[in-house]
Amino acid sequence: MSEHIVVTNANFETEVLKSPVPVLLDFWASWCGPCRMIAPFIEQLADEYSGRIRVGKVNVDEEADLAGRHGIVSIPTLLVYKDGKIVNQTVGAVPKQSIEALFKGLI
């Protein structure tokens, strides 16, 4: 299983904004049922696209400031960053193909 990056305020700039490849950023919480539903899809995509994308996870309970700066009001929220900018996003539990479509054209 691939490793995802735990994204925090402290490493956000390095891991996301300065990433040389697109970053799929998952805003989630352990108590969130829909977050748990899509977690296997996120991990599968991280494996399938290893080296071509990075997958970061932001726990909204632990990183409320980071979630607030992104205007996160519902989870799961998935953001795709490329070259330091948000280029795509979706909210809610969506199928694996929909998650893949967020970044596939960017790699």
The catalytic position among 7, 23, 24, 32 is 32
Distance, CA of 42 to CA of 45 (rounded, Å): 5
Distance, CA of 89 to CA of 77 (rounded, Å): 7
56 among known catalytic residues = no
User: For residue range 37-92, what is the model confidence (pLDDT) as tens digits?
Assistant: 999 999 999 999 999 999 999 999 999 999 999 999 999 999 999 999 999 999 99
> Which residues form the domain of 85?
5-106
pTM of the model: 0.95
32 among known catalytic residues = yes
Residue 2 gets the label, from left (phi > 0), alpha (psi -120 to 50) or beta, of beta
The catalytic position among 24, 25, 35, 66 is 35
CATH of residue 55's domain is 3.40.30.10
User: For residue range 5-44, what is the model confidence (pLDDT) as tens digits?
Assistant: 999 999 999 999 999 999 999 999 999 999 999 999 999 9
Q: Does the pLDDT value for residue 1 go beyond 60? A: no
Cβ–Cβ < 8 Å for 36, 4: no
Q: What is the pLDDT of residue 2?
A: 58
User: How many structural domains is the chain composed of?
Assistant: 1
Residue 69 gets the label, from left (phi > 0), alpha (psi -120 to 50) or beta, of alpha
Q: What is the pLDDT of residue 104?
A: 94
